[in-house]
Structure 1
Amino acid sequence: MTSVGKGATADLQGDYRALVVVLLSPLAFALVFASWTIFAVLGIELKRLLHFGEVQFALLLAVPMLTGGLAALPMAALARRVGGRRVMIGCLLLICPFLWGIAYSQSYWNFLLAGTGLGLGAGSLAAGLIYVASLCPRRHAGLALGLYGAGMLGAGLTYFMLPLISQAYGWPMAPKLYLLPVLLVALLLWVFAEDAPRAVRLAPQDELDEDEAAEGAVRAVARRLPPAAVWRLALYYSFFFGAFVALALWLPGYLAAQYQLPLKVAALWALAFTLPGGIGQIVGGWLADRRDFRDLRWWVSACVMVCLFLLSYPDFTMQIHGVHGDIALRFSMPLVGFALLLAIMGLAMGIGKGSLMCLLHREYGDDMVRSGGLALALGGLFAALLPMMFVLGNEWIGVRTAGFMFLYAALAVCMLVMLWDPGSHAPARLPPPARGS
């Protein structure tokens, strides 16, 4: 075979590998995210059956996010060492016994333990990110990462299917039915996907003297710490990721309580947030392939901030003592208006996540373990904090919309951090042209 034929065969193998990854990795992401959101719908029914309070319910929502945030970086590092495909398959198989255990849990602590195990599925998310970033074509990296992140649409599967399954067969059947697609995707990854070829690093340590070796060790430790710019981008990404995940978990219960909706109807209304969020992630990644979207962060942040400001307003009545008598003003956010604001905010958050992950890959793609893994870790920890903040508003402050107020304040802090980013005022830098294009 000629060198031209060998090159063409290698290109076809690379394209096949990338296509399989782009198709199967979002499915794995969607199933892990659907498993996490089981308690968003099922937990409301369990709260009524087991008689546990709002704080316990918030902790049940937060535990998978906490475990996932803690597992993201180690699993990303493991994916670089042994291969993203292996780690994804292992994490998918790992959550199966916990899904099965939910069906047979009888106490709050059993559900809490199951939620802790489901959080380990975040290893699949982090490994999938490393996997996609290593195999996708560089000129389409934003689109590939956006398609992968659109796996958050898996929440829609839970919103739509779980109330129907619970009503028809009882709630214990719901987590059991999640097992089949999880095992199927794990099998497809094992059969059709391949690990990315690992780069070989030459480190002639034997040629260094003792002083040079000591200096090299110090530099190696310093290199392991992410630079300040990575922390800034990861912190900013963590707001969009964490807020999206936490709201996806919280909205069904919020809508059911705020608008006195049946759980099935409330879950369907929550799709107004998750569906635009998944679509927006694809759009954000696609747009980020065409230019440096540092400036887009400001527009996305402004849009989300306006939505959060409007969503923060609780129902209120104001009485004004006018010249000709009292004037009563009443405000109550209609359900349609609430859903419209959720759709706009979800779309903006998705665009922000897609463009920021593409920016992380473009700037720090040589070490996606530290950049992408750190972003997912911070996002998971922020998502774990939010359910308790929502309960704080409900139970202690007495205002149900206080959760949106907290998100508004958190976004303001992120924008202040962004002001200190010298790169935010740098000229736009287009991605380098692909070889041969």
Structure 2
Amino acid sequence: MQNTVIFQGANRALTMATIAFGANFSVWVLYAVLALELQHTLTLSALDLGLLFASPMLTGAVLRIPAGILADRYNPKYLYTLQMLAVVPSLLILPHLETLTGYMVLGLWIGISGTSFTFGISYVTDWFERHKQGTAMGIFGVGNAGAAITLAAAPYIVERMGWVNIGPLYAAGLLITALLFFWLAPSRPRQSEHVSYNNDQMPLRKILGTLQIWRFSLYYYFVFGSFLALILWLPQYYTNAYGLTAKQAMAFTLFFAATSSMVRALGGWFADRYGGRSVNWTVFWVCLVCLFFLSYPPTSMTIHGVHNDVLINIEINVWVFSALIFVIGIAQGFGRASVYKIINDYYPQQMGAVGGFVAAIGALGGSTLPIAFGLVVDGVGIYSACFMLLYGVLAVCMIAMFFAQKTDRFKRRLHLAKTHNFLND
């Protein structure tokens, strides 16, 4: 009977944390929709768009580090609730802005919603045994589907009620979510009625000095950072590169965000069953192949034949492009789950601090990559240059992972040799 009660408590904790994460994520990516309007009203360049996208991502990334440390020290349920309440006023101010600078400054405030992942992951992992935590974290990560909520709901709100009502409506929704979470989410995890949040802390200095944590952060920079960047970048990419309407661009981006978010739970199950590293390698190879084709710009070639010239046009149409993006999104969903499974395998008692640091570096991808996209597109003058950049980022991740695994295998063999007296200390 007691086990049944505990199981129900864990499920309720996971459900409420996931709902709250989805609500926060929908707020965090709100600028992806606003940018389509602001691009025309404020006459924004590609770099301006990148800076606009980067502002909420920046604070959402940087604040994840102190958020992780706080989550290890204090009850993450209360921190989670306070974080949501802190974001509500910024959404009420949104309708009163008129300049790019104003939107960027307010974006820094809205970005506090990005810390929700750190509080939520620390709260959720307390409720599940180690062999189930990959699946639990994967289910929690489905909250990324909050991006799909914004991509689906915000255009409808704009069409029916106007731009000025988006901020207040999102503020009301986040306030209700915060109150429901505080009321319905259980207060104590299953391991003990008197949980201490002060044990086995890892100081920031040690985290910064651990190369392994930096490797995990690099992996997450791609699987999560590029996911964020693509959610923000794809709507205007579809409208500029393929001439789609805003509704069509949102529909394609919605499909990408929703499927990538929903498969994260399945990715957590695969990571539990087959190991995080195996899933990661598969994810990287799939993305590398897709990015190779996406990087190729529309090209026309003239071949001088025997009797006349032959003109060849090479271009990825919108359907092939969307299919490749869809595959990348699925792979990234698996990758986000597998990275956190690896982290939990190595640092189960420091998920707040270590997980928060890795999440911060990953979220920095959502801040730095849109700016980099704008720079390369403006500089090179090719829309697909953003995918060339992602291809390079992924190549660095794969090289780092290859040498890390090679080093780990060597250390294991050396330890085994010493254990069996093949080598002397």
Q: 1:254, CA displacement in angstroms?
A: 0.6
Using the size of structure 1 for normalisation, the TM-score is 0.87
Q: 1:320, CA displacement in angstroms?
A: 1.2
Q: 1:14, CA displacement in angstroms?
A: 3.1
The Cα offsets for residues 186-229 of structure 1, whole Å up to 9 and x where unpaired, read as: 112111221444338789xxxxxxxxxxxxxxx97875555322
Map 1:47-66 → 2, pairs under 5 A: 47-66=39-58
1:296 to 268, 271, 279: 279
Q: 1:276, CA displacement in angstroms?
A: 2.1
Q: 1:403, CA displacement in angstroms?
A: 0.5
Cα pair distance change 1:298/1:200, threshold 3 Å = closer
**Please, which runs of 5 or more residues in structure 1 have no aligned partner?**
1-7, 204-218, 428-437
Which residue of the partner structure matches residue 315 of structure 2?
332
Cα distance in 1 between the residues matched to 2:407 and 2:267: 17
- Higher mean alpha-carbon deviation, 220-229 vs 23-32, is at 220-229
1:181 aligns with 2:173: yes
Q: SS of the residue aligned with 2:383?
A: coil
Cα pair distance change 1:323/1:400, threshold 3 Å = same
1:90 to 66, 75, 82: 82
1:165 aligns with 2:157: yes
**Counterpart residue type for residue 242 of structure 1:** G
Which residue of the partner structure matches residue 129 of structure 2?
137
Which residue of the partner structure matches residue 433 of structure 1?
none
Which residue of the partner structure matches residue 148 of structure 1?
140
Map 1:258-297 → 2, pairs under 5 A: 258-297=241-280
Cα distance in 2 between the residues matched to 1:409 and 1:14: 46
**Counterpart residue type for residue 399 of structure 1:** I
Cα pair distance change 1:258/1:15, threshold 3 Å = same
The Cα offsets for residues 60-80 of structure 1, whole Å up to 9 and x where unpaired, read as: 100111111110010111122
1:251 aligns with 2:234: yes
Q: Confirm or deny: 8 A CA contact 1:87 1:124 kept in the other structure.
A: no
% identical equivalent positions: 32
Q: 1:424, CA displacement in angstroms?
A: 8.2
Cα-Cα RMSD: 2.2
1:199 aligns with 2:196: yes
Q: Confirm or deny: 8 A CA contact 2:28 2:56 kept in the other structure.
A: yes
**Counterpart residue type for residue 351 of structure 2:** M
Cα distance in 2 between the residues matched to 1:43 and 1:179: 19
Map 1:65-80 → 2, pairs under 5 A: 65-80=57-72
1:383 aligns with 2:380: no
**Counterpart residue type for residue 137 of structure 2:** L
Which residue of the partner structure matches residue 34 of structure 1?
26
The Cα offsets for residues 79-100 of structure 1, whole Å up to 9 and x where unpaired, read as: 2222111111111111111111
Q: Confirm or deny: 8 A CA contact 2:74 2:198 kept in the other structure.
A: no
Q: 1:344, CA displacement in angstroms?
A: 0.7
Cα pair distance change 1:202/1:95, threshold 3 Å = closer
Q: 1:16, CA displacement in angstroms?
A: 3.1
The Cα offsets for residues 317-357 of structure 1, whole Å up to 9 and x where unpaired, read as: 01111223211110221111111111111001111111121
**Please, which runs of 5 or more residues in structure 2 have no aligned partner?**
411-425
**Counterpart residue type for residue 392 of structure 1:** L
Q: 1:50, CA displacement in angstroms?
A: 2.6
Cα pair distance change 1:77/1:265, threshold 3 Å = same
The Cα offsets for residues 75-129 of structure 1, whole Å up to 9 and x where unpaired, read as: 1111222211111111111111111111221222221122101111122211111
Q: Confirm or deny: 8 A CA contact 1:41 1:263 kept in the other structure.
A: no
Cα pair distance change 1:113/1:178, threshold 3 Å = same
Using the size of structure 2 for normalisation, the TM-score is 0.90
Cα pair distance change 1:84/1:423, threshold 3 Å = farther
The Cα offsets for residues 275-325 of structure 1, whole Å up to 9 and x where unpaired, read as: 221122111101112232312222211100111111111111011112232
Q: SS of the residue aligned with 1:317?
A: strand
Aligned residues: 405
